[in-house]
């Protein structure tokens, strides 16, 4: 009886999980994961997935389209919880490990999620399923769209986190497009460093598990040498990284040729890598190939690709749309821009999200007539290659994480009502983007206690949201139109950071 019920639910949500299970049947003894010192075959991962699905469906009040929050580090357990939730007919809500309690509560409330998967012990990544102790949460209160597979929360252009709704079809279509753009093979052993709970890391997970390749989870970005050692030990053939990761890894790669012995190709996305650093990486990694890609969570993950063979003639470009994606740069009037003219990137394809969770208004601002307005500015050359030129809004990328200054400003303003907080990005001497928080007193004579603000940041903000520089400022620089001059504040922040590094605090 239960078996029949489950089969019906899985047919209802056919797509991604079935594709994964088909891969598992095809390559049962192939390694799906190499996780520190253990290996998990496809047959084992499929078993873990079915066991997880059964744990969900055997709950008395389990209903299809129930949301399940997954807060696990990259591990076979994460994959089993993700696919298991889908197999049970549920909807996965990945929760980044670095997010604060307040953020998580917001997401659980917004999605009416009562099931939470987490690890009791980060060393073993055991997954334990618990019920959120909050009787006011009720999944039936908000009807989820048919075929919804997962909701990925990300920073929106207004500052509050938005739930990007991805269907089975979205996830499958994008995984297929990515596989068609890269030399990904079933024999690949990819270093899976990017968190699976974010769009880019999730696309690494899906593409490899649908191909029958191996994901290697080992080493830490904090200590690049542990990554190069892991690459050597596990004969890693590929990896995906954000620009900051490449900058961190460059010295370690230079020091260790052995790490690159088996490397065939790498991808960079999730922010702009400066052309000169792209060139340096490409030259260092050779004969391995570097693919520059571009995308966003609203498009499942990836939208464009600059093939390695075209890199040397197109530094600074993100390439062109990947198969199945139409990517255009358009003028405000809606017509396509002429070569060299600035416009906004828009995208269409089966990978474009269903919309933002429970927010039709925000959805209608970004999705029109089947087009996703990315909010990214760009120019196009006469061959159709796209060159990004910043954003239309103040969205930022810190260490690959997307965020909006308002997310931080709102928290500080709430905690310190007599202060106007202004958050700006600045560039460090070695070209990393960091945040600065300027505290402007709303009443004259008031001196904010920067230590209290610092402690508040630690308590209420995730690591990537925490400002590196916190400065009290009586008279802010203003623009000609008498708005706070954020560009000038960024320069001030860079100078302050330089002085601090030089020990002249």
Partner 1 sequence: MTDPATITAELTAYLTEASCSDTPLMADTDLLATGLVDSLMMTDLVHHVESRYGVRLDAEDLRPKNFRTPRVLAELVAQKSRLAAPAPR
Site residues (CB under 8 A) for partner 1? Answer: 220-226, 228, 244, 248, 251-252, 254-256, 398-399, 428-430, 432, 454-455, 457-459, 463-464, 466, 468, 500-503
Given the complex with partner 1, which of 18 and 98 has the nearer CB atom?
A: 98
For residue 201, give both structure tokens: 């890391």
Q: How far apart are CA 458 and CA 435, in angstroms?
A: 14
What is the nearest approach in angstroms of partner 1 to the Cβ of residue 222?
Answer: 5
Q: Which residues contact residue 29 at a Cβ distance below 8 angstroms, ignoring those fewer than 6 apart?
A: 41, 42, 43
Task: Give the C-alpha separation, 292 to 267, whole Å.
Answer: 6
Our CA angle for 242, 244, 247, nearest 5°, is 115
Cβ distance to partner 1 smaller for residue 132 or 250: 250
Q: Which is nearer to partner 1, 187 or 455 (CB)?
A: 455
Q: Give least dist CB 459 to partner 1, A.
A: 7
Instruction: Give me the least distance between CB of 454 and partner 1, in Å please.
Output: 5
Shortest CB 51 distance to partner 1, Å: 31
Closest contact distance (angstroms) between CB of 270 and partner 1 is: 14
Distance in angstroms (rounded) separating the CA atoms of residues 120 and 160: 29
Least separation in angstroms between residue 463's CB and partner 1 is 6
What does the block give as tokens for 115? 């099931």
Q: Is residue 352 helix, strand or coil?
A: coil
Indicate the helix (H) or strand (E) that contains 226.
helix 224-233
Strands laid side by side in the 355-356 sheet: 127-131, 115-119, 67-71, 91-94, 148-155, 161-167, 355-356
Based on CB atoms, which residue is closest to partner 1, 128 or 220?
Answer: 220
SS3 383: coil
Shortest spacing between CB 247 and partner 1, in angstroms: 8
CB of residue 255 to partner 1, shortest distance in Å: 4
Nearer of residues 255 and 478 to partner 1, judged by Cβ: 255
* Nearest by Cα to 229 from 244, 219, 239: 219
Calculate the alpha carbon distances from 124 to 11, 38, 72, 127 in Å.
33, 11, 11, 9
> Quick one: 259 or 282, whose CB is closer to partner 1?
259
Sign for the CA dihedral angle at 372, 373, 379, 382 comes to positive
25 or 458, CB closer to partner 1?
Answer: 458
β pairing state of 189-191 and 214-217? parallel
Give least dist CB 468 to partner 1, A: 7
**Smaller CB distance to partner 1: residue 414 or 500?**
500
What gap in Å lies between CA 472 and CA 447, rounded to an integer?
Answer: 8
- Identify which of residues 369 and 430 has a Cβ nearer to partner 1 in the complex: 430
């Amino acid at each position: 009886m239960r078996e029949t019920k489950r089969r019906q639910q899985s047919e209802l949500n056919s797509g991604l999980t079935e594709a994964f299970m088909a891969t598992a049947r095809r390559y049962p003894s192939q390694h799906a994961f190499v996780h520190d010192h253990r290996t998990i075959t496809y047959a084992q991962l499929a078993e873990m997935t079915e066991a997880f699905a059964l744990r969900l469906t055997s709950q008395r009040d389990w209903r299809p389209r129930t949301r399940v929050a997954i807060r696990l580090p990259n591990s076979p357990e994460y994959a089993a919880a993700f696919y298991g939730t889908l197999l049970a007919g549920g909807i996965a809500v990945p929760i980044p490990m670095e997010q604060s309690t307040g953020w998580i509560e917001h997401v659980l409330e917004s999605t009416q999620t009562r099931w939470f998967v987490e690890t009791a012990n980060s060393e073993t990544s055991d997954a334990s399923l618990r019920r959120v102790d909050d009787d006011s949460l009720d999944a039936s209160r908000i009807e989820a769209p048919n075929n919804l597979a997962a909701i990925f929360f990300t920073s929106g252009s207004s500052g509050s986190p938005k739930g990007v709704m991805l269907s089975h079809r979205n996830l499958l279509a994008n995984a297929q497009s990515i596989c068609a753009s890269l030399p990904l093979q079933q024999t690949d052993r990819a270093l899976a460093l990017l968190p699976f709970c974010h769009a880019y890391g999730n696309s690494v997970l899906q593409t490899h598990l649908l191909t029958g390749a191996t994901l290697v989870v080992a080493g830490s970005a904090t200590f690049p040498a542990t990554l190069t050692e892991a690459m050597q030990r596990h004969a890693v053939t590929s990896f995906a990284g954000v620009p900051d990761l490449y900058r961190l890894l460059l010295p370690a790669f230079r020091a260790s040729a052995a790490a690159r012995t088996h490397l065939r190709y790498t991808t960079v996305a999730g922010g702009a890598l400066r052309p000169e650093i792209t060139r340096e990486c490409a030259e260092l990694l050779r004969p391995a190939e570097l693919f520059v890609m571009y995308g966003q969570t609203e498009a499942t993950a990836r939208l464009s690709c600059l093939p390695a063979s075209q890199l040397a003639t197109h530094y600074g470009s993100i390439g062109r749309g990947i198969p199945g994606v139409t990517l255009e740069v358009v003028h405000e009037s809606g017509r396509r821009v002429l070569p060299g003219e600035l416009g906004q990137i828009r995208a269409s394809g089966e990978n474009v999200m269903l919309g933002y969770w429970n927010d039709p208004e925000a959805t209608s601002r970004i999705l029109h007539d089947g087009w996703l307005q990315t909010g990214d500015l760009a120019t196009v050359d006469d061959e159709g290659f796209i060159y990004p030129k910043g954003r239309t809004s103040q969205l930022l990328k810190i260490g690959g994480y997307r965020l909006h200054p308002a997310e931080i400003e709102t928290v500080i303003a709430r905690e310190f009502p007599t202060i106007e907080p202004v958050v700006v990005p600045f560039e460090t001497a070695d070209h990393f983007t960091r945040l600065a928080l300027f505290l402007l007193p709303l009443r004259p004579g008031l001196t904010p206690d920067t230590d209290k603000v610092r402690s508040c940041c630690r308590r209420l903000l995730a690591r990537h949201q925490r400002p590196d520089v916190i400065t009290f400022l009586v008279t802010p620089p203003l623009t000609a139109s008498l708005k706070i001059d954020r560009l000038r504040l960024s320069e001030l922040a860079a100078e302050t950071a330089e002085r601090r590094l030089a020990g002249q605090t």
